[in-house]
A and B are shown apart, each in its own frame.
Chain A
């Protein structure tokens, strides 16, 4: 048995260990640097497995399109930790956030790569535990309360997952491999498989924060450190989305496929709820959390599409980059202006104070809306286009309408940054420190990547880009 398929996860766990060891020595800078290097190595290893043929394992799968999501999870983890390096290496809790972020990325990658419900269960639980820890590291009472509430709900989700696993195991006679479930679903459409599938999807939906399992998201994202929220919102989402796709692929292709309509219902509710609730938010992080519910909804639109559901992977990766950029932006905003209260209204005058951050904010918000020339456009375009040819035109229409509504709050942030005047006079001119420059640079780089990913397919056409992503 080759070790290669497990190398990416090993690198991810090693990153966490290295961070903790350096932290014990009191060298937080090395903790960050080591973690970034190992996570990047893990991403590279995952990307490499994508090019090696003959690796298709059973419990942990890799190769081809299987490797896209794991590579993206680890790369996003590395990006976020590198972008927030300054605050992570100065803060007392920084190294623990780094370690948990690395574990989040690694377990999310494993969630995506799992080919066995047992492995999936372990990975999802690991991911959840890291999440509770990341929120609790926010340090405030509110953060600890949010983590506690999330943990309580999480135990419900765990129970749901266990029941689902039990139902499936009873039906297959012991095996929990996806291939066994697929064989079962193909043989005869029956209630136990459908119930088992729905219970697993519900547990994943909890991790994703889809309606009605979303309640933990706003508090968690708002109270966690921005770096932690960035990891949860990007790397933490890509894995479960990929797992949902693989599960749906396993049970479709037979009469049992009718059950995937449940996913369409979750998508619909998430889009409607997320968008409408986000309209009312004043806090930028909270708005991003609610809009994240809607974004997960858009992604789930593509899950019931069978062979076309790989569009979800593209959406997830592009959304992951944008979401990571958005929370690193929050971090940058906190660092440039210590007096910022975290509200959207407080962004007024940003275009004058920091043109680079304001421009990046505009790019990120436009990408989240799905405006052409940004990465977000291609993700939505693919998912919605496939949905409308794959029998879910009504859902695609709802999703597009939701995107239109979403500009109501994404655009509000752009308006605040560029048009609104500052309520109170001049902000004191503070000297720009190294840390600000680093995090601003990270945001600008991510925005440039977003624009580049939005523009390049115009020149090359969509085909080569897709072939590169999904082999």
Chain B
């Protein structure tokens, strides 16, 4: 184990080299690519386990020196990093194995695995980074991998558009992060966590608040929180296993991780904390209601992810960052599971529209069982893992901000409702499918079973996790847990009933239909953004292009060019071809020069 304990950088280096190997020999690897790539996540898991047991390996390399200050590349595999490494490694390994079956017909098979490896490396780098500069580099790299994988089917216009949108929207957050880094650099002279988060806490309240808000905006962008959540539903254009890895379990949770990592900064900035709480609560409740109205199985899960991340942000907002990490871990398990199961369903039934499914439980029993395990965990029904972590989130929020706690309880009822609705629509009732579905091969079911087990039993990991992170979780309160269970069961029943055949699509009243349509479109946030942000920005850009670039710059440049050419034409007249004229010109020149010399020296 010692090499794993003392060489945490291998978690980045191994998958990175594998990605390079795969990329170089695209034609060489063929069907062998997954087995090569799999070594990456396995290394990450190994490093995670070793670091969790033996404690952090750390190192630093000075990168850029500016006067007395320097920018270093550093890492530190502490407990938080180790937990995240385990999450990243396990989910990435499951996704890679699952994809052997899911992606086997695809053209870009090796490219896919190269990108997954690169993502694994970047994500591992992100979690073990011990300074904001290193973290930011990896932060951008995971964003780039997300862009490339959403646009995996780049010849499909909708996929290319979705990739661009995801990249652009998260850029907003990235820009804020750069500003935050500049603020911290100016105030403390470095970006290392030991410096900016140290016990000295040398920041004035205004500086801490400014930096924390900037970092919060970055996290909001990456973790798809209101109002920067609009990219995530469209990111579902990518392959489904990618959605499981990047857009459910790991990258989107990076925002939560970032805030947990820089927690001392937020401890000094109450305004930023309150903002996180408000945004998280709005997102949790709003996204859950949108998920209830979706018809596409992946869109349901996408909105559910946004909503669950909202829970985590709310927990961060009240200071319970360890609880947020606990929910991050369980969520990675059950949401990764749900996405992979959805992949299996899409693979087996050939559709991702809930209206064309139904009765799949009979044809795909293992898939159905795994989905139900995930759904139970998502709905927060004991003894599944989701129950424990969500209960901790709700109770810690209730203590500090009762209004938010109540909103989260409502959101968990909605969560149970959309989970039940999707379950019934997909797996129960009469079959509405055109082609008969078939169960997935074992290479795909294996990862599902592993993740299903995790989604059911990870609840017991709460205690050890808390002690690893240096805290203890409060014991379950009977009142809160009881209320949550009752609400979850009520939600389940209501959701189940709403999913009667025909009921969902032919509801009676006009008002209800309008309401459902508004919910299905994400409460119009996307339309608002495109109307009041995108349109004005493009219009301004167009105006600048027309006025500034074409009229002023081009006009000036072309005008000068035309003038020069005109003068040149005049000057070539001097070249008459007449020898006497040339000699005369020369003599005149000499006379003028001599006159100038006499005048200069006189």
Q: Which A residues are within 8 Å of any B CB, using their own CB?
A: 148-149, 152-153, 156-157, 160, 189-191, 193-195, 197-199, 201-202, 206, 211-213, 215-216, 218-219, 255-256, 258-259, 261-262, 265-266, 273, 275-280, 405, 408
Contact = CB atoms under 8 A, between A and B. Distances in A.
B534 interface: no
B586 A195 contact: no
Interface of B: 561, 564-565, 567-569, 571-572, 574-575, 577, 579-583, 585-590, 593-594, 596-598, 600-602
Contacts of A273: 571, 574
A160 B583 CA distance: 12
A197 B597 contact: yes
19 contacts: A153-B586, A156-B586, A198-B597, A199-B590, A202-B593, A213-B586, A215-B586, A255-B601, A259-B600, A261-B600, A262-B600, A273-B571, A277-B568, A277-B572, A279-B565, A280-B568, A405-B564, A408-B561, A408-B564
Contacts of B569: 280
Given A202-B593, A215-B582, A259 B568 contact: no
Contact of A194 (B574, B583, B586, B601): B601
A193 B597 CA distance: 10
Given A156-B586, A212-B585, A276 B564 contact: yes
A31 B91 CA distance: 79
A213 B561 CA distance: 26
Contacts of B579: 148-149, 152-153
A420 B571 CA distance: 28
B351 to A, nearest CB: 49
B589 to A, nearest CB: 4
A261 B601 CA distance: 11
B568 A266 contact: no
4 tightest A-B CB contacts, nearest first: A212-B589, A215-B582, A149-B579, A276-B568
Residue of B571, B575, B598 ringed by the most chain A CB atoms within 10 A: B571
Contacts of A275: 564
Nearest to B598: A191
Given A149-B582, A279-B565, A213 B589 contact: yes
A194 B594 CA distance: 8
A216 B594 contact: no
A116 to B, nearest CB: 22
A146 to B, nearest CB: 10
A218 B596 CA distance: 28
B596 A262 contact: yes
Contacts of B601: 189-191, 193-194, 255-256, 258-259
Nearest to B589: A212
A297 to B, nearest CB: 14
Given A189-B601, A261-B596, 19 more contacts: A153-B582, A157-B586, A190-B601, A193-B601, A194-B600, A195-B597, A198-B596, A199-B594, A202-B589, A211-B589, A218-B575, A258-B601, A259-B600, A262-B597, A273-B571, A276-B568, A279-B565, A405-B564, A408-B564
Nearest to B602: A191
Contacts of B596: 198, 261-262, 265
A430 B586 CA distance: 47
B220 to A, nearest CB: 43
Contacts of B602: 191
A276 B593 contact: no
Given A215-B575, A279-B568, A280-B572, A259 B586 contact: no
Nearest to A258: B600
A194 B599 CA distance: 10
A42 B567 CA distance: 45
Contacts, number: 97
A322 B569 CA distance: 27
B581 to A, nearest CB: 8
A24 to B, nearest CB: 34
Contacts of A197: 597
Contact of B568 (A193, A218, A278): A278
Given A152-B579, A408-B564, A215 B585 contact: yes
Contacts of A261: 596, 600
A215 B571 CA distance: 12
Contacts of B568: 276-280
A399 to B, nearest CB: 15
B246 to A, nearest CB: 41
Contacts of B571: 273, 276-277
Nearest to B582: A215
A380 B574 CA distance: 28
Contacts of A202: 589-590, 593
Nearest to A405: B564
Contacts of A278: 568
B267 to A, nearest CB: 50
A328 B275 CA distance: 71
A280 B565 contact: yes
A218 B572 CA distance: 11
Contacts of A201: 593
Contacts of A190: 601
A406 to B, nearest CB: 10
Nearest to A255: B601
Contacts of A156: 583, 586-587, 590
Contacts of B594: 195, 198-199
B566 to A, nearest CB: 9
Nearest to A263: B593
Contact of A277 (B575, B585, B598): B575
Given A199-B590, A276-B564, A153 B598 contact: no
A148 B583 CA distance: 12
Contacts of A157: 586
A259 B594 CA distance: 10
Nearest to B571: A277
B597 A194 contact: yes
Contact of A259 (B585, B588, B589, B597): B597
A405 to B, nearest CB: 6
Contacts of B588: 212
B446 to A, nearest CB: 54
Contacts of A256: 601
Nearest to A218: B575
Contacts of B593: 198, 201-202, 262, 265-266
Most chain A beta-carbon neighbours within 10 Å: one of B568, B575, B581: B568
B553 to A, nearest CB: 15
Contacts of B567: 276
Contact of A153 (B572, B575, B583): B583
A276 B572 CA distance: 9
Contacts of B577: 219
A143 to B, nearest CB: 14
Contacts of A216: 582
A212 B585 CA distance: 7
Contacts of B600: 194, 258-259, 261-262
A122 to B, nearest CB: 21
A193 B598 CA distance: 10
A160 B579 CA distance: 17
A169 B571 CA distance: 38
A149 B582 CA distance: 8
A265 B593 CA distance: 9
A252 to B, nearest CB: 13
B365 to A, nearest CB: 63
A215 B578 CA distance: 10
A344 to B, nearest CB: 14
Contacts of B590: 156, 160, 199, 202
